[in-house]
Structure 1
Amino acid sequence: MNLLFSIDDRFYQQLLTTLYSIKLNSSLDGEEINVYVIANGHFHYSAQLAAGCRRLGMHYHEVPIPDTAFQNAPVTDRYPLTIYYRLLAHLYLPQELHRILYLDADILCINDLRPLYSTDLNGYLYASAIHTNLTNATEVINKIRLQNFDADGYYNSGVLLMNLDEIRSHVRPNDIFNYIRSHVLLLPDQDVLNALYGHHIKSVPDELYNFDVRNLRIYETISMGVDTLDWVMKNTVLLHYCGRQKPWLENVNHGKFTALYKNYFQMAKKFLLA
């Protein structure tokens, strides 16, 4: 299993928490787990991540991005270099990799990750989830804004299963750079993903693989009362702590999901420091 992350110095402990939760809850059966972390020259925690991965029985690989990597890319305060990392990771990952799962570092795995990782990607560049809403108004607005009417909806890029062979053939830096130069974007990398490649993404259910912890009541309502907290704990694989109010911050409370994250965060620190 190949896992991909892109973090800065603020998130290395959160990344180790994500990895700990994957180790604890997935049926890996001795499978080799390779953890690839995209980092620029300003990342200072490679040694700590490597040690944490060894403790978890995983293999750490730093993916260095040279300072000259995106010298032709439009870069501003709004569009920093980091927006290109997950979209163009295939340029810097080993050629022998065929599949990799990108995860944001504000995610917990609470059930088996293997079914998502094994998703059939034949004919697709990616697999991703569209976040559930009570109405489709946001979806319609995004389709008009991005002019991607063939896509099923607006995909969240925090969980992105990548078909690297297809991506290497179809995802080109200049297409991305030109799109950014000619459009005003709200969520730069996510907007580009949806606008250019939305019709090449396989949809997976967000209630299983990208559950927005802020929206438990919305999931319950849309599912006619099926997706309760008990259902989530038994069935959901990836909890995504979206938004600015992160569960590791003081005085942030998303109810039971925040308590669950804090528990994993503490367990991971104890395990990795033991």
Structure 2
Amino acid sequence: MTNTEAGAQPARIRIFISAHKPAAFPDCASLVPIQVGAETAERTLEGTLYDNVGENISQLNPMYCELTAQYWAWKNAHADYYGFCHYRRYFDFSDTPHRQNDYGEVMDTFISEKAIREYGLDDASIAAAVDGWDVITSPINDTKLIDGTSNLKEHWANNPHLRLKDLRHVYDILCARHPEYREDADAVLNGHEAAFCNMFIMRREIFFAYCEWLFPLLQEFCETSDFTHADMETMRTPGHLSERLLNIWLAHQRRAGAGRDWKVKTLQCVHFTDPEPAGDLEPLSTNPRLTVPVVFAADDNYVPMLTTTMYSMLRNANPDRFYDVIVLHKDITPENRQLIRQYLEQFPNATVRFYDVRPAVEGYDLTTSNAHISMETYYRFIIQDALPYYSKILYLDSDLIIRGDVAELFDTDLEGHVLGAVHDLDFVGNLNMPNGERRRYADAKLGMADPYGYFQAGVLVMDLNRMRDLHTVDEWLAIASDPDYIYNDQDILNKECRGDVHYLPYEWNVMHDCAGRVHGIFNFAPAAMYRAYLASRKDPKIVHYAGYDKPWKNPWCDFGPLYWHYAHSTPFSLQMMAILDGIEKPQPAVHHDRALREDSPIRKYVDVVAPVGSKQRELMKVVARKVQGKR
């Protein structure tokens, strides 16, 4: 591994972004990603510097954490300003204050172009925020609000992985090496305010002075401490200690050192919950003439049903064709993704890939007015950009059982039309109802000249090039933001594609008899349509469990035994049985390492007088920021 930074010409501002796993990084010369712990890492990150090149302490990363990047920059990099952030935590370099939570963080999701603009993660904004200052730190936080502790010593002891004897030990080392710091160490450790996260920006000479003071202290601490039986978090003690030592060093400089004349300020800290790269899907190397791209959309709660549908599809697939199965999602866990892949490895003529849609739909107000329609239904609008190398795909809902080979469906000649789809007998039957409500809706909202051409969107053959001609993804999502559609994206597709649809045989999307609709709604449809639907029920190629009556909730529903014929074979069958028994999925425990204790008297008082999300809570935080000198 090599570093292009080492030996380079001095740069004005270098803010190093510590990372130990892949992340999206802003394309900005002032922000420099560096892989920490590179010496012992299982994988090498692309597009970063590495902390094991040149003079380094990379092998100490399990104990020193992001400090191995700080040490590397001290010994190898050249700049006027040195700064440090994390792959998920950045300074807010904009000149706009942002709402922060009780832990002093501005919470966001992705490091997107929008976020880069909003938080000034560009060279010009960084220079404007940094130039002229000597030291910049993360916000000054109050331990009384963080976890109800009255000082930093108690705050340290409140962490079950940190040993109070280690804090005392580094205190003794500091006082022995630098007795003039005792007063400042006492003031900081007995106080209840500090800057955390090891995030700061300093002028070159100040940064070098700090490193020359800090690292000998930590080295002596490590050489004289026993971590033989320490757990992983306790092993990180030197990293935790450095957070406290930074505050002590700054306090001493302001009281008795060069810092009395420094210009010092804080910048807000932005915490990105999902800093991982979007992970665009690449085209497969398989013969495109043999490949059948099939797209699904689901969330983590729908994994058992999604897996059942995919399994039924591949069980009945043509072994001479290759199926590129792509799942659009926003929250399917890595564990579930791995389980799905492993289970479907039994089909050598298929691959399963996952695409995170959140960056694409961020900022759009996508809601559903129908309780039986999920948010995932909108994801089909991003397919045309997510899969730019495909001109045609199949889109399938995740509540299907597939008995036919979908390669036959994919091979359908659309004859130049945008979509291939099956008529929707539910909607069409409602058009002939005496009250006329659905007909008025089709005329006024959908503007369909022939509403009897309304199709069901759970099974689609999509010409992506024609879809791209109709609208951009932004335009599709903007249209989808309208909350007044009854069937949401299905209505939108019918409105925008009206008169440009190739109608598929009914057996490719046989909707089951939910709440007796076959003889209570479908039979109001034009006679030819109804007869064709009834005929398709005898040998369906796809059964669609559309509506609220699902076989994992009611195994006696129409075509229920067919569903369980496939579902019982999947690794998620017991989860579906639990759903049948009314057992809810357990919610994972949520932990924030700087959260208020539930039994904290401070927490109870604050929550009573200023509940989370209230105007009083926000006012309290504004006042606290002003008292601390923060903007």
Name the TM tier (shorter chain). 0.7 to 0.9
CA distance in 1, matches of 2:368, 2:542: 31
1:92 aligned residue: 386
Taking a change above 3 Å as real, the CA distance of residues 193 and 226 of structure 1, as seen in their structure-2 partners, is closer
Cα shift at 1:200 = 2.1
Question: Is 1:52–2:343 an aligned residue pair?
Answer: yes
Match for residue 267 of structure 1?
569
Tell whether the 8 Å contact from 2:323 to 2:351 is kept in structure 1 after alignment: yes
Percent of aligned pairs with the same amino acid: 22
- Deviation of 1:23 after TM superposition, in Å, equals 2.4
1:30 is matched with 320
Separation in structure 2 between the aligned mates of residue 254 and residue 81 of structure 1, nearest angstrom: 24
1:107-138 Cα offsets, whole Å, 9 max, x none, are 01123333322111232111111122557426
Partner SS for 1:86 = helix
Whether 1:20 aligns to 2:297 is: no
Which residue in the other structure is 2:432 paired with? 137
Alignment of 1:103-252 (within 5 A): 103-132=396-425, 136-137=431-432, 140-144=439-443, 145-150=445-450, 152-180=452-480, 184-206=484-506, 208-214=507-513, 222=527, 232-233=537-538, 235-249=539-553, 251-252=554-555
State the Cα RMSD in Å: 3.1
The correspondence of residues 62-73 of structure 1 with structure 2, limited to 5 A, is: 62-67=354-359, 69-73=360-364
* Pair 1:100–1:39, CA change in 2 (3 A): same
Secondary structure of the residue aligned to 1:33 is strand
Higher relative contact order (CA 8 A, sep 6+): 1
Shift of 1:172: 1.9
Change (3 A) 1:140 1:73: same
**Distance change (3 Å), C-alpha of 1:30 and 1:60:** same
Unaligned runs of 5+ in 1: none
Distance 2:353 2:464 in 1: 17
- Distance in 2, Cα, partners of 1:226 & 1:197: 23
What is aligned with 2:605? none
CA 1:17–1:181: 2 relative to 1, 3 Å: closer
C-alpha distance in 1, partners of 2:409/2:365? 34
How many residues align? The count is 262
CA contact (8 A) 2:394 2:462 kept: yes
Q: CA separation in 2, counterparts of 1:136 and 1:81?
A: 26
TM-score by length of 1: 0.81
User: 1:259 Cα deviation (Å)?
Assistant: 1.3
C-alpha contact (below 8 Å) 2:447/2:495 kept by paired residues: yes
Q: Is the 8 A contact 2:381 2:477 kept in 1?
A: no
Provide the C-alpha distance between the structure 1 equivalents of 2:294 and 2:531, rounded to a whole number of angstroms.
Answer: 33
Residues 140-184 of structure 1: CA distance to partner in whole angstroms, max 9, x if unpaired?
Answer: 345213112156522111111111222222232343344345661
Alpha-carbon distance in structure 2 between the residues aligned to 1:176 and 1:162: 15
Contact kept, 8 Å, 2:419 with 2:462, in 1: the verdict is yes
Q: Equivalents in 1 of 2:483, 2:299: separation in Å? A: 27
Q: Deviations over 1:74-105 (max 9, x none)?
A: 34575986443112221112x22222111111
Alpha-carbon offset, residue 203 of structure 1: 1.3
For the residues of structure 2 that align with 1:269 and 1:200, how far apart are their CA atoms?
Answer: 41
Residue identity matched to 1:259: P
**Residues 151 and 199 in structure 1, CA contact (< 8 A), matched pair in contact too:** no
Q: Which amino acid aligns with 2:357?
A: I
By how many angstroms is 1:220 displaced? 8.9
Letter in 2 for 1:258: G
Secondary structure in 1 matching 2:322? coil
**Residue number among 289, 297, 311 corresponding to 1:6 in the alignment:** 297
Instruction: Tell me if structure 2 keeps the 8 A contact 1:20–1:56.
Output: no
Q: TM-score, length-normalised on structure 2? A: 0.38
Is 2:420–2:501's contact at 8 Å kept on the other side of the alignment?
A: yes
C-alpha change, 1:64 and 1:177, in structure 2 (3 Å) is closer
Deviation at 1:226, TM superposition (A): 8.0
Q: CA 1:228–1:154 in 2, change beyond 3 Å: closer, same or farther?
A: closer
Deviations 1:173-204 (A, max 9, x none): 34334434566111211111111123222111
In the alignment, structure 2 segments of 5+ residues that lack a partner are 1-291, 574-631
- Output the CA distance in 2 between the equivalents of 1:203 and 1:225: 16
Tell me, yes or no, if structure 1 residue 253 matches structure 2 residue 567: no
Please report how far the alpha carbon of residue 37 of structure 1 lies from its aligned counterpart in structure 2 after TM superposition. 0.4
Whole-Å Cα distance in 1 between the matches of residues 471 and 532 of structure 2? 39
Counterpart Cα distance in 2 of 1:36 and 1:141:
38
